Amino acid sequence: NAGVMQNPRHLVRRRGQEARLRCSPMKGHSHVYWYRQLPEEGLKFMVYLQKENIIDESGMPKERFSAEFPKEGPSILRIQQVVRGDSAAYFCASSRSQVVHEQYFGPGTRLTVT
C-alpha cells in the first residue's frame, strides 16, 4: 500500500509566479490536511479537505493561497504570485477518518522562491 505521495518534491519559482503542489492520499483515505513548515519551525496547519469540500481553512493566508480536493485526482495547494516568504516545506497528510492519530504524512514539497 503506497503511502502519501507528494509532487514535486522540490519546486523553484521566481517571485510573482504560481506554485502548484500536489498530494495523493493513501488508498482508501478521503481526508487531506496541508501543513507548512518554515525553516527551524514546527509545522503549521493550513487547511483540511474532504473530497470536494473544504472543512477547515483557518490556517490558510487570506490571499494568494487556495486548495482543492476534487472528486477525481490529487489534492492541490495553489499559491499565486509567490513571494520569498512563501519559501518553506509543505507537507500533506491523509487519514481514513477524522480520527487524528490516523494521519499519515507525505514526504513534503520544498518550495524555494528566488
Residues that bind other proteins (CB under 8 A): 31, 33, 35, 40-45, 48, 55-56, 58-59, 91, 93, 95, 98-101, 103-108, 110
Quote the CA–CA distance of 98 and 22 in Å, as a whole number: 21
Question: 32, 49 in Cβ contact below 8 A?
Answer: yes
Quote the CA–CA distance of 67 and 101 in Å, as a whole number: 23
**Length of the chain in terms of residues written:** 114
Q: Which lies closer to other proteins via its Cβ, residue 81 or residue 98? A: 98
CB of 58 to other proteins, least distance (A): 6
* The three cell numbers locating residue 110: 520544498
Q: Which lies closer to other proteins via its Cβ, residue 17 or residue 59? A: 59
CB of 28 to other proteins, least distance (A): 16
